[in-house]
């Protein structure tokens, strides 16, 4: 990561996320911080994301009661993402696990994580991915305790463990064959499934297909992306490699006539395409550019 940062920014300590937040974001990192002044956004989709989505969420977290309720919601989102319904049953052994010295270090790590999550403004479940091994190690220990649970001498715990494993295998197979069986998971908007255990399966595929198509053409390509008025900010199509000018395919958002012409003049050696992501299906066509500006105007 340090080498990547050095090649992109000239410093191994400059993180892409830090540059992004300093340039565009108004929402703070932690609950005791205030909003930053909104910068001038040149694209409406950026303003919607950083001001309406993120900024609006920050405004809801100003009272203690709302902060507490939001923290409970974070825990619930994490449980749904990492455990779902199938892996919740072993958690009835949570008290025994917390007292189990064999996983005490992992429990301590998770408690420290929870303290950090509590003071963070935003928490999407996959942000916790570095702790996945700890979550499932604790979960497996809970299943071991559940397996030995015999209330009134009946091996109910063993039955629960077997049922849990069976459900996990069945759900994995169901998700794998969802398309042939015409069982469609919820696909839109992306924000509705981002904290679930499954994904829509197609997300980003259309953009990848178009980019692969353009990569196979001779010469360099420039893609102008035209969003509709109802475009959903989570589905972003415009992103590029760190070395933009030397990329085979460059993506850019459509702006006004003057700025579009400036872009076309800068990349005059490229074939220009128009992509409309919000069409069903997304379309690509040769770009009919704005009228040429005079040299003086440019």
More confident residue, 235 or 266: 266
Distance CA 136, CA 149 (A): 20
Q: For the chain, which residues make up each domain, given as ranges?
A: 205-286
More confident residue, 62 or 27: 27
Q: Has residue 292 got a pLDDT over 60?
A: no
**Reduced to 3 DSSP states, what percent helix, strand and coil does the chain have, rounded to the nearest 5?**
50, 5, 40
Find which of 65-69, 141-145, 188-192 is predicted with most confidence, using mean pLDDT.
141-145
**pLDDT recorded at residue 298:** 40
Q: Has residue 14 got a pLDDT over 90?
A: yes
pLDDT tens figures, 56-72: 666 555 677 777 888 88
**pLDDT recorded at residue 296:** 35
Residue 12 CB contacts under 8 Å (≥ 6 apart), including other chains: 2, 3, 5, 6
Cα radius of gyration rounded to whole Å, the chain: 25
User: Is the entire prediction scored with pTM above 0.85?
Assistant: no
245-249: average pLDDT: 94
Distance CA 241, CA 247 (A): 7
Find which of 41-45, 196-200, 203-207, 271-275 is predicted with most confidence, using mean pLDDT.
271-275
76-99: average pLDDT: 88
**pLDDT recorded at residue 294:** 38
Percent residues over pLDDT 70 in the chain: 88
With cut-offs at 50, 70 and 90, classify the pLDDT of residue 133. very high
243-262: average pLDDT: 93
Three-state DSSP state, 192: helix
Q: Has residue 193 got a pLDDT over 80?
A: no
Distance CA 277, CA 158 (A): 51
With cut-offs at 50, 70 and 90, classify the pLDDT of residue 199. low
Mean pLDDT taken over the chain = 85
Q: Which residue has the tokens 């994904």?
A: 199
Q: Has residue 39 got a pLDDT over 70?
A: yes
């Amino acid at each position: 990561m340090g080498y990547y940062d050095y090649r992109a920014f000239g410093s191994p300590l400059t993180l892409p996320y830090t540059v992004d937040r300093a340039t565009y974001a108004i929402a703070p990192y932690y609950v005791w911080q205030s909003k930053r002044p909104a910068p001038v956004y040149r694209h409406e989709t950026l303003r919607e994301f950083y001001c309406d989505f993120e900024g609006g969420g920050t405004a809801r977290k100003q009272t203690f009661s709302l902060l507490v309720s939001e923290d409970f919601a974070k825990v619930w989102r994490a449980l749904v993402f990492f455990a779902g319904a199938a892996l919740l049953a072993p958690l009835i052994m949570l008290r025994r696990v917390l007292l189990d010295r064999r996983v005490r270090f992992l429990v301590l790590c998770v408690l420290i994580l929870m303290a950090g999550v509590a003071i963070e403004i935003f928490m999407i479940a996959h942000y916790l991915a570095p702790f996945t091994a700890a979550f499932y190690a604790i979960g497996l220990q809970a299943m071991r305790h559940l397996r030995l649970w015999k209330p009134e001498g009946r091996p109910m715990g063993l039955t629960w463990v077997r049922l849990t494993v069976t459900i996990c295998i069945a759900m994995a197979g169901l998700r794998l064959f969802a398309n042939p069986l015409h069982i469609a998971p919820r696909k839109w908007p992306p924000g509705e499934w981002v904290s679930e255990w499954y994904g829509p399966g197609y997300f980003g595929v259309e953009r990848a297909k178009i980019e692969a198509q353009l990569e196979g053409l001779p010469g360099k390509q420039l893609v102008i992306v035209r969003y509709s008025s109802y475009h959903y900010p989570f589905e972003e199509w415009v992103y590029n490699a760190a070395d933009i000018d030397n990329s085979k395919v460059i993506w850019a958002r459509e702006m006004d006539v003057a700025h579009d012409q400036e872009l076309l003049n800068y990349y005059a050696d490229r074939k220009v395409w128009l992509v409309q992501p919000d069409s069903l299906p997304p379309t690509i066509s040769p770009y009919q550019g704005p009228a040429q500006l005079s040299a003086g105007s440019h």
